[in-house]
Structure 1
Amino acid sequence: MSAPTEQSPATPPATLTVHVGKHPDEPNVMDPALITDPFRGYGALREQGPVVRGRFVDDSPLWFVTRFDEVREVLRDQRFANNREHSESSAGEDPMTRMLKMFGLPEELNVYFLGSILNQDAPDHSRLRRLVSRAFTARKITDLRPRVTEIADALLDRLPEYAEDGVVDLIEHFAYPLPITVICELVGIPEEDRAQWRIWGADLVSLEPERLARTMIPMIEHIHELIGRRRAALTDDLLSELIRAHDDDGGRLSDVEMVTMVLTLVLAGHETTAHLIGNGTTALLTHPDQLRLLRDDPALLPRAVHELMRWCGPVQATQLRYATEDIELAGAPISRGEAVQLSLVAANFDPRHYDDPERLDITRHPAGHAENHVGFGHGMHYCLGATLARQEGEVAFDRLFSRYPGVRLAVAPEELRRDPLPGSWRLSSLPVRL
């Protein structure tokens, strides 16, 4: 299976042949074959088996879960914990902690990485999710749609201002500004601070030690300062709700939890959606038959966004989960405390679940049915902002192709460059002609 910017997917190889680390007989999440072409690379692992022994960033052992049924099974199985402490393992240091050491971050910052809602299990996960879930209900998101459309239209009107020799970068000037403006308004990040959040977000996802080190301390200090300012003048935004939960509601939220919640909501609320828009736009521009279907029937937009999340979703793997007891999964003996990583990209292209999975088909997902992909996860940790992300994708594609019906790539698809990040599929830029 080839990267989905190409027109004719190839047959996946029988085995993965490019390796890094000290264990060349086991695939590593940092293997170039898994980063530069995860569709082919993880497809090869999937065809080796539903559960494959491998290695994490720090070369520690883990299990890759690769097929649709097994990925969904683990996502809803609470015997696999996001917080390693709940596995009660004595098998050495947490791989995530070791990874943070590799990046050279001060140990006192670990709590802001490891203490977020993404790393919590019941009952803490449920408590934290309840505190913010009211902002992401279907009704709230529906009410937000006119504002999302207004932001999108304003950004699209300005695109010609950024063109150089007729070419504009759609990632920089549309795909990123749209979701970061929406989530910052929802959370309560002042407009003058949003450009800095864009820089911080890029630093954090880069996984480059120097960029991480220069970003973490000022970003956390900024959130504390922002909380202090908002506490003096509460409003109806989500940050004010978090402050009320901390100050007035029996201490349901600690200082660290409040900071990590803001950090998680803002970063997760724009990074992934930006690259859903970028990847999806590229997919539609390189599949004119599908774009034509969408132009002829805009009612297909919700189904199209689901298919784009399956076919070129920005998140290709979950964070690590840990077995809380000895578990046999598809014949693999996973011991208590061992780590698993779920390959969403392999599951979303599993031929055991999908007919012709390599084909982009915006009519694939029946209208009104439950999601038939794992792009947003599944189970207790299903993406909190999925409804908002889908809406932003629908608005972005609708308004872009309506405002600029002749938009086209400014380079050949194979010349597009992507950030070489494990578990992620994201364009560095998207040059287009309007």
Structure 2
Amino acid sequence: MTDVRPDAGGVPEIDLTDIDVLSDPAAAYGRVRERSPLARLLAPGMRPMWVLTRHEDARAMLSDPRFELSADSFMRPPGIPEHCLAYMRTMQEMEGPEHARLRRLVSPAFTARRAVDFRPRIEPIVENLLDGLADHAEDGAVDLLAHFARPLPIEVICELVGIPESDRPRWREYGAAVAAGWGQAFADAIPGIMEGAKAAVAARRAEPGDDLISDLIRSQAGDEGRLSDTEMVTLVWNLVLAGQTPTNLIANAVETLLRHPGQLAALRADTGLMPRAVEELTRWCGPQLLTIPRHPREDVEMYGVPIRKGEPVTAAIVSANRDPRAFADPERFDIGRDAGASGHLGYAHGPHFCLGAALARAQTEIALTALLRRFPDLALAPGSPATGRIPDPGTWRLASLPVTL
């Protein structure tokens, strides 16, 4: 996993197909982090990437204007219809004035205050899903991923965007396809998402309602720099894509809490700890292992190693979030932890810090609070494997989460 290659400047190499990396990325990246702040990621058919393993270095790179996101940073599933391509380029792929303009127009809709105001509309969605859990039981066990964590984010997005109730069954299918990962079902869902988003934008232009699109239309009335319909549709697509993060965060969080009974008991005893617990869970078992690769605009040198213009550079979130230089006793899971000035990198950092972070936090807090309140005897189903995870080098995610209620 960590053979040294002289032409890579003597830095360690990490094989993304290595079973140790896939099964325990925190430990695998941690070993490399303590050897070197810089490593190389390798996988068959993939261009080698540089990876920063330490917290301070990762933060610095993510806010360094020499490193930019571009279309080369993003994968596209094959077979996307031509008419959908205009909506695929999101703010994540933009830099400079173009990115700043869109961020300025959209960010007021995603503040922490707006997330708090939206909580009363998330709560009934959560309660409704929990009401139906017992109906999905088989041999006394329920898959919490399939029947709670996975459907929740798309339900929230539908409410946020203003998708009509009659269209929501189709959007639930879209959400399941997106959450399941990059495959044919994902590609097949894209045209429907785009058409539904276009219809929602057109409807709100004609008759505003109590939703995100209507708020953006109202707030930008008379603004020459306002969002176009194409940009509105692209925003909805971005929400569907990025808005699935709580799926894996909630599932990972529940599994982690159930495997740490002392911490779970402390949280049950004091639900006021929930905001801090969600931050610690994001640090400890957040789903995103690596940031979207950046590309240097010019040749740079890092730790004595020359990195050429355009070579992909990523940050290992899973490693930075366990860096002892940034966190005291980082291998201890502690829901009372005060992250201090360092802060985890679960939502990245810098100009491309996740726009929906406040909404994701609120959604996760509400989901965990209601779940623990409704099911005081919640437990992993007997015989649950220690790690029933999908071997994905980019995302720490479960294949299923069978529990007893």
User: TM-score interval w.r.t. the shorter chain?
Assistant: 0.7 to 0.9
Q: Distance in 1 between matches of 2:304 and 2:384?
A: 40
- 1:22-421 equivalences under 5 Å are 26-29=13-16, 31-55=18-42, 58-83=45-70, 94=72, 96=74, 99-100=75-76, 103-105=78-80, 109-113=84-88, 115-204=89-178, 206-242=180-216, 249-250=223-224, 252-269=226-243, 271-365=244-338, 369-370=340-341, 372-421=343-392
Distance 1:194 1:252, change over 3 A: same
Q: Distance in 1 between matches of 2:252 and 2:127?
A: 20
Distance 1:291 1:192, change over 3 A: same
Give the SS at the match of 1:337.
coil
1:416, distance to aligned residue in structure 2 (A)? 5.0
Per mean C-alpha deviation after superposition, the further-off stretch among 168-177 and 249-258 is 249-258
1:143, distance to aligned residue in structure 2 (A)? 2.1
Distance 1:28 1:100, change over 3 A: farther
- Output one character per residue of 1:340-359: Cα deviation in whole Å (capped at 9) or x when no partner: 11110011112332233222
**Residue 15 (structure 1) aligned with residue 22 (structure 2):** no
Q: Distance in 1 between matches of 2:388 and 2:17?
A: 18
Q: Do 2:67 and 2:294's aligned partners in 1 also have CA atoms closer than 8 Å?
A: yes
Instruction: Return the letter of the residue paired with 2:348.
Output: G
Per mean C-alpha deviation after superposition, the further-off stretch among 391-400 and 63-72 is 391-400
1:127, distance to aligned residue in structure 2 (A)? 1.7
Distance 1:240 1:429, change over 3 A: same
Give the SS at the match of 2:41.
strand
Per mean C-alpha deviation after superposition, the further-off stretch among 182-191 and 74-83 is 182-191
Q: Distance in 2 between matches of 1:355 and 1:220?
A: 45
Give the SS at the match of 1:325.
coil
Instruction: Return the letter of the residue paired with 1:83.
Output: S
Q: Do 1:184 and 1:266's aligned partners in 2 also have CA atoms closer than 8 Å?
A: no
1:72, distance to aligned residue in structure 2 (A)? 0.8
Distance 1:431 1:348, change over 3 A: same
Q: Distance in 2 between matches of 1:421 and 1:110?
A: 26
**Percent of counterpart pairs with the same letter?**
47
Instruction: Return the letter of the residue paired with 1:340.
Output: V
Q: Distance in 2 between matches of 1:36 and 1:195?
A: 35
Per mean C-alpha deviation after superposition, the further-off stretch among 423-432 and 33-42 is 33-42
Q: Distance in 1 between matches of 2:264 and 2:73?
A: 43
Q: Distance in 2 between matches of 1:232 and 1:405?
A: 47
Give the SS at the match of 1:352.
coil
Distance 1:117 1:56, change over 3 A: farther
Per mean C-alpha deviation after superposition, the further-off stretch among 307-316 and 259-268 is 259-268
Q: Distance in 2 between matches of 1:386 and 1:57?
A: 33
Instruction: Return the letter of the residue paired with 2:128.
Output: A
Distance 1:241 1:193, change over 3 A: same
Q: Do 2:280 and 2:333's aligned partners in 1 also have CA atoms closer than 8 Å?
A: yes
Distance 1:397 1:236, change over 3 A: closer
1:196, distance to aligned residue in structure 2 (A)? 2.7
Give the SS at the match of 2:346.
coil
Q: Do 2:347 and 2:353's aligned partners in 1 also have CA atoms closer than 8 Å?
A: yes
1:415, distance to aligned residue in structure 2 (A)? 5.0
Instruction: Return the letter of the residue paired with 1:258.
Output: M
- Output one character per residue of 1:402-434: Cα deviation in whole Å (capped at 9) or x when no partner: 111111011445355223333111222211111
1:120, distance to aligned residue in structure 2 (A)? 1.4
Give the SS at the match of 2:138.
coil
Runs of 5+ unmatched residues, structure 1: 1-13, 18-24, 85-93
Q: Do 2:84 and 2:194's aligned partners in 1 also have CA atoms closer than 8 Å?
A: no
Instruction: Return the letter of the residue paired with 1:116.
Output: T
1:181, distance to aligned residue in structure 2 (A)? 2.3
Runs of 5+ unmatched residues, structure 2: 5-11
Distance 1:212 1:153, change over 3 A: closer
1:275, distance to aligned residue in structure 2 (A)? 1.5
1:216, distance to aligned residue in structure 2 (A)? 2.4
Q: Distance in 1 between matches of 2:21 and 2:230?
A: 34
User: What TM-score do the two structures reach when normalised by structure 1?
Assistant: 0.82
Instruction: Return the letter of the residue paired with 2:59.
Output: R
Distance 1:200 1:248, change over 3 A: farther
Give the superposed CA RMSD.
2.8
Instruction: Return the letter of the residue paired with 1:144.
Output: F
User: What TM-score do the two structures reach when normalised by structure 2?
Assistant: 0.88
1:148, distance to aligned residue in structure 2 (A)? 2.5
1:309, distance to aligned residue in structure 2 (A)? 0.2
Q: Distance in 2 between matches of 1:32 and 1:248?
A: 56
- Number of matched residues? 398
- Output one character per residue of 1:191-224: Cα deviation in whole Å (capped at 9) or x when no partner: 3333333332343454544334322233323322
Per mean C-alpha deviation after superposition, the further-off stretch among 207-216 and 141-150 is 207-216
Q: Distance in 2 between matches of 1:220 and 1:195?
A: 16
Distance 1:120 1:56, change over 3 A: farther
Distance 1:427 1:296, change over 3 A: same
Q: Distance in 2 between matches of 1:80 and 1:392?
A: 31
Q: Do 1:327 and 1:333's aligned partners in 2 also have CA atoms closer than 8 Å?
A: yes
Give the SS at the match of 1:139.
helix
Distance 1:218 1:154, change over 3 A: closer
Per mean C-alpha deviation after superposition, the further-off stretch among 148-157 and 375-384 is 148-157
Q: Distance in 2 between matches of 1:201 and 1:28?
A: 31
Q: Do 2:150 and 2:179's aligned partners in 1 also have CA atoms closer than 8 Å?
A: no
